[in-house]
């Protein structure tokens, strides 16, 4: 990501400024897009195509399922584009030792962005002991990732949470050291909403990033999420979104045709 898009250490996050810079060019927009392929029937050739597109457009990362990490790391070697991977996906109900083991294995294979699913059932159990288990579940992954120079985005699955649960989940993730709060897996009952992005940014401030994911299929969708406070966007339609912005720039530029 270009330095112009790096969050500052100030107490507030300027969503308007960030969005304006991200939308100022196709290159800047690509730098905040996680190019994503998580469908269960994704095959090797599709993963390789994803990596080719990620390298061509300089996306923030190529996001894949764990089985494809080695393939993606090999395909992106030397490009500077990192590989992202999901952990405990898509339900978040995996045993904590299993999440840590999965994290350790994908880190060893070269993954850089770890998008882990929060344990929604424990969060909804709503006792102090269960909240502590949620936090420790996240912290176990965070410690491994940070020890290997990687980052963690915690998927809250906001469509399943009440307003109060979204606030609680955000604070637990932040207290466990999460680098990003992320809305959705894209495999549940709903995806990112402008209201949820605003809520998560309100909690995170400048302490962490906010990733919008699930149902973002157009430049208009991406723009709305960025203006609401997202600093990263997960989408399978990343190429389309960037091309939309390129088309707008081309349409607004003077013609370079012959006399």
Residue 124 known to be catalytic: no
53/48 Cα distance (integer angstroms): 9
Q: Say if CB 103 and CB 87 are below 8 A apart.
A: yes
Long-range contacts of 242-245 (CB under 8 A, 24+ apart): 242/26, 242/29, 242/30, 242/33, 242/57, 243/26, 244/218, 244/219, 245/23, 245/25, 245/26, 245/29, 245/219
Inter-axis angle of helices 219-228 and 238-252, nearest 10:
100
Residue 137 known to be catalytic: no
Length of the chain: 259
Q: Say if CB 194 and CB 225 are below 8 A apart.
A: yes
Q: Looking at 115, 137, 179, 221, which residue is catalytic?
A: 115
Q: Looking at 99, 135, 153, 182, which residue is catalytic?
A: 182
Q: Looking at 99, 135, 166, 211, which residue is catalytic?
A: 211
Quote the tokens at residue 24. 């100022």
Backbone angles phi, psi at 23, to 5 degrees: -95, 5
Residue 115 known to be catalytic: yes
| Residue 123 burial (C-beta neighbours within 10 Å; 0-12, 13-18, 19+) | buried
- Which of 69, 37, 67 has its CA nearest to residue 53? 37
Residues with catalytic function: 115, 182, 211
């Amino acid at each position: 990501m270009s330095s112009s898009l790096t969050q500052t250490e100030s107490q507030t996050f300027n969503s308007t400024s960030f969005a304006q810079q991200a939308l100022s060019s196709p290159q800047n927009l690509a730098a905040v897009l996680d190019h994503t392929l998580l469908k269960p029937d994704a095959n090797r050739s599709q993963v390789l195509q994803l990596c080719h597109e990620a390298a061509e457009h300089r996306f923030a990362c190529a996001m894949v399922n764990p089985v494809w990490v080695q393939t993606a790391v090999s395909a992106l070697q030397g490009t500077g584009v990192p590989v992202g991977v999901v952990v405990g996906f898509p339900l978040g109900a995996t045993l904590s030792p299993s999440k840590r083991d999965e994290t350790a294995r994908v880190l060893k294979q070269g993954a850089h962005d770890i998008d882990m699913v929060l344990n929604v059932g424990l969060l909804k159990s709503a006792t102090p002991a269960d909240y502590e288990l949620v936090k420790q579940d996240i912290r176990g992954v965070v410690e491994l990732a940070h020890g290997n120079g990687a980052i963690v985005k915690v998927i809250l699955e906001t469509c399943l949470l009440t307003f109060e649960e979204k606030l609680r989940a955000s604070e637990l993730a932040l207290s466990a050291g999460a680098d990003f709060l992320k809305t959705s897996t894209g495999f549940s009952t709903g995806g990112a909403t402008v209201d949820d992005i605003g809520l998560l940014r309100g909690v995170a401030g400048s302490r962490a990033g906010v990733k919008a994911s699930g149902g973002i299929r157009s430049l208009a969708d991406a723009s709305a999420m960025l203006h609401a406070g997202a600093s990263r966007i997960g989408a399978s339609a990343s190429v389309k979104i960037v091309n939309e912005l390129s088309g707008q720039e081309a349409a607004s530029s003077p013609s370079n045709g012959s006399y």
